[in-house]
Structure 1
Amino acid sequence: MSSELTLRIITPEKVVLDVTAASVRVPASDGSMGILPRHASMVAALAEGKLSYRQGTNAEHLFISGGFAEVRGNTVRVLTGAGETPSEIDIERARSAEERARARLKPRETGLTAGEAQIDLARASAALRRALARLKLKGYAG
């Protein structure tokens, strides 16, 4: 049996990463989850945040925008809307996204129905979480 995992991070546009790793840590929707070789097969919902993996003594980090992780055999597949290394994160764009999301979360008269307002609030909250996760990773790695 192999003592390494194959980690694949896949977005709708491309395969962001395809590497071998000694361990993987994903931001599961109910908390951080570590995955080692010979892990039980599973599927987990992911939150936006930092995905980490270890190759030897080196730890690498990526931002993911949520999604799903499938563990089968010694392969971890992450399906996500976005996956970015710290060097790919545009700090000004992330700060701008944070400001826009915070503005959308402030109480205001919108003319939206209650249902539409709830959807708008949920989208703004998700945008804020993504922006903050990007900024946190950039600060952590940069």
Structure 2
Amino acid sequence: MDQTAEAITLPMYDGELGVRPGRAALVGQLGPGELRFTAGGVTTRYFVDGGFAQVRANTVTVLTGSAKKAADIKAEDLTKENEKAAALPSTNGVERASRQRAQQRATAMTKVAAKVAGA
């Protein structure tokens, strides 16, 4: 997407980060969650599945393995994500960590979809 934004809110791994024009440069790690893009007074919400964000010279670049417009997330998508997470094994530390990340992703996707459904 190549648009001029009034504000962007990024889901960083340790909380949200608001970005407005003139923001100092940074590179940060994204967590699974909601990316909000406000332009022309209209806010569009996306679910992003982690990745990285760079802010430089009034340009925000987001690198993520998966992004979906919140309005396009369907109930069956949420069911699939929760079922996938629940089906993962958790017999050792690596598997437990992988399962926990999948559960966090499913929870974050559910929260993003609920915000659009409730609007």
Q: Which residue identity lines up with residue 29 of structure 2 in the other structure? A: A
Structure 2-normalised TM-score? Answer: 0.88
For 1:138, the equivalent position in structure 2 comes to 113
Q: CA deviation at 1:121?
A: 1.1
Give unmatched runs, 5+ long, in structure 1: 1-16, 111-116
Match of 2:9, SS state, is: strand
Q: CA deviation at 1:103?
A: 4.6
Further displaced range: 89-98 or 55-64: 89-98
**Contact 1:86/1:138 (<8 A) preserved:** yes
- Tell me, in whole angstroms, the C-alpha distance in 1 between the residues paired with 2:36 and 2:77: 23
- Structure number with greater Rg is 1
For 1:3, the equivalent position in structure 2 comes to none
Give unmatched runs, 5+ long, in structure 2: none
For 1:124, the equivalent position in structure 2 comes to 99
**Contact 1:95/1:135 (<8 A) preserved:** no
Q: Which residue identity lines up with residue 65 of structure 1 in the other structure? A: D
For 2:35, the equivalent position in structure 1 comes to 51
Aligned residues: 117
Q: CA deviation at 1:140?
A: 0.8
Structure 1's consecutive aligned runs of 4 or more residues displaced over 2 angstroms after TM superposition are 102-105
- Could you give the per-residue CA deviations for residues 64-91 of structure 1, whole angstroms, max 9, x where no partner exists? 0011100000100000110100233232
CA RMSD between the two structures:
1.7
- Tell me, in whole angstroms, the C-alpha distance in 1 between the residues paired with 2:80 and 2:110: 11
**Contact 1:69/1:78 (<8 A) preserved:** yes
Q: CA deviation at 1:133?
A: 1.4
For 1:75, the equivalent position in structure 2 comes to 59
Q: What percentage of aligned pairs have identical amino acids?
A: 34
**Contact 1:52/1:60 (<8 A) preserved:** yes
- Tell me, in whole angstroms, the C-alpha distance in 2 between the residues paired with 1:136 and 1:30: 17
Q: Which residue identity lines up with residue 124 of structure 1 in the other structure? A: R
Match of 2:46 among 58, 62, 68: 62
